[in-house]
Structure 1
Amino acid sequence: MHKLWIYILFFFCVTTIAAQTPEKEIEKPKDSLESSVLLKQIGNGFFPTKIWNFDLRYLIKFNQYEGFRTGLGGVTNDAFSKTFRIDSYGVYGFKDHKFKYKIGGGFRLNPETKTWINISYIDDLMETGSSNFLTDGRFFSFFEPRLLNIDLFHKHITSAVSIEHEINPKLITETEVSISNIRPTYDYDYVLDNTSYGAFETTVAKVSVQWNPFNEYETKDGITKNTEDGYPKFTMQYSKSFKDVLNADFNFSKLDFRTIHKITHNKDSHTIGTFSAGLAHGDTPLTHLYHSYPNNINKETILQRFSVAGINSFETMYFNEFFSDRFATLIMKHYVKPFHISKHFNPQLVLVSRYAFGNMNNISRHQNVSFGTLKHGYTESGFEINKLLLGFGLSFTYRYGAYHLPREEDNIALKFTFNITL
């Protein structure tokens, strides 16, 4: 728990710096303008230098397997080259005492369509049951609180070639072919055709599409910028694993989908919904299935489970409690008009409901692990009170319905929230 408080203190310091920056000024001196530009770049996830932009995602993180994970990484900028980039990182986990890294780079094929071909070699960890969209790599979240609680990882050594392409500003794509050697860090075997796989190889092709049909853009001096976010937004990805291609062990496919819609009631109140779904077909090991975004630590009491609430995660669902080969989730958040208590104290109430459905075929293939399915439908609801102090707030969530637990306090999640925009 003391490590968690140290991590929260780090972000507390960051928010203190951000809070001291004036939001509006009639005339800004040059130093102030430069500071604003720097804060905007930090908000996008990078600290710029002359030829290298440091990626803040690698600076410091914490999870239950690695403990503190710290290192350096980033990407070269246009001052280095407009047609070639280096994209690499190196990090160290203080609990598992392991070094992880990525060596990568890219070549720009077409500046008008922002077409890049990238190559990479990665030796790192990945959360079991996670399913990430390739196009999400273009977007940055300043703080990913759910990462604090993850404990189920698998090691992977992955070589990949990918192509980024912008059909138009509202429609971007990314295609990747990768070869991975995968070894779970936990006791697990996947049994197929009387053969037990404690480690395995995959050869996977992915195609990801991000479509934002209602975004507004403007082009100035040949640079296209997003001027207004429109909704709904859509993301889709298809993955195919090929058995016996470059020594791969399994044939399976996955189809993932996500849409986000926002309804603005007035300038101070809105409702946002996120629908996610996934389907895995074929001989799919647990590492490549779905966990439905749990964010509750497996501890005895409510206070021991006190941590930081995620953005789109299930706060009362325990880690590794459920896995699925097909699932759907719906997360609804209604942001009530802020309470204008004083000039600098405007907390906001957010009403939250989350739903999940899922199931799995061939559960017996997954050996040495225990989990349930979501075939009866999972429900939780609660509220957040955000912006109580420098981006921090509180959340309360209650688990009910088919998966309500016998001991009442096990159905309750009380956590911090953290929201900041630089």
Structure 2
Amino acid sequence: MKPTLPAKLLQALAPWRDAPAWHIAFSGGLDSTVLLHLLATAKPLVPLSAVHIHHGLQAAADAWPSHCQSVCDYLGVPLRVMRVQVPSGASLERGARDARYHAFAQVIGAGEVMLTAQHREDQAETLLFRLLRGAGVRGLAAMPVHRPLAGGHLVRPLLGVSRAELEAYAVEHQLQWIADPSNADTRFSRNYLRHRVFPILTERWPQAVPGLARSAEHLSEAQGLLDELARMDLQAAEQPSAFPWLGLPSLALAPLRELSDARQRNALRHWLNPLTRLPDSDHWVGWQSLRDAKHDAQPLWSLADGQLHRCGERIWWLPSSWSEFSDVPVSWSDAQRPLQLPRNGELRFCGKAPAGPLEVRYRQGGEIVDVPGRGRRDLKRLLNESGLPGFVRGRLPLLYRGEFLVGVPNLAGLWAPPSQDWQLHWMPQTCDQGLS
């Protein structure tokens, strides 16, 4: 006997029954209406709520929050309505999706679950759409049943359910749902596939949709194996750097060089995936140029959301906002308290701060500093000796008293502090503090 739709749903959600809360992404359409009704009537022990995202893209959408509210009131489910701004760009679909998931990330707390109602036809459309765009295994794995989102989880429990099953359930229970007029607009790629391509495919191959969805499952399993291989290959490359205080992701280059080109790309895709949108096949020549550059070169590879830098035998990830800091001098009137540098972290003293009016400046070139036991030394040469990555040097805070350079943060491990009475510590702004 085939399991009922409620049984399928509860089985899919079994791994998440101990989550602190479940949130349903409730558009008011057929799919999310069925999901909401299934869960509200199942009365799970997990606290349940709904979230409606108002994109503001069409006049008809202004009436949808009130419809969603009435449905939630009837089912006894709390509803939160969130208005988002969809940025203008080449793809309205992508902009709306990004805005929607950004809002979801604001809703869920640690360990909580956001449930979305994509079904089997959605999965087949995603696979075909990405196949036409030339996606690799990761893209062709289509939509995962589960993925991390903010501090919680995004779960799609209906991916194994057909749209026909959802419609039958809705009719049986006399549910009312919103018919989004934009779903009929074939100018949008997914709608074109849904209304023009899939009817022809299923006329010739009736099992096209479940077949494509099954292929997506196989590709998802293959991607899981590639991820396991990547984690194994990255173990040796993830040895700590000489500058762990920088707080930037980095890898040792030598272990990567020992891998085949295909395994290098696989390991890097896995490592870069949470940091940036991944490059297409043609763009990977940038990795080869960075990897094969001369030892004393400092090449970089520009990606969608940042840059990969190579310094010596190490590669570093710098998010796009790394350069967004102010190099304007900053007065330090109360040196007993930490100094917050504009988008450049924090500077503080350990020990008694030196007397006099102090100011933080940034490198202009030609700086000289006193080094205990070595006398007056050229700062540039000292930085070269230290191996401090070149991309850090422009934002290294320098402490001045008048026109005299009295200190460089010893946290960089460059040399001994200028005095036994105090040390200058710099904690740069890290990716977790807003650089990514």
- TM-score w.r.t. length of structure 2: 0.23
Query: Which of these two proteins has the greater Rg computed from alpha carbons?
Result: 2
**Structure with the larger helix share:** 2
**Structure with the larger strand share:** 1
- TM-score w.r.t. length of structure 1: 0.23
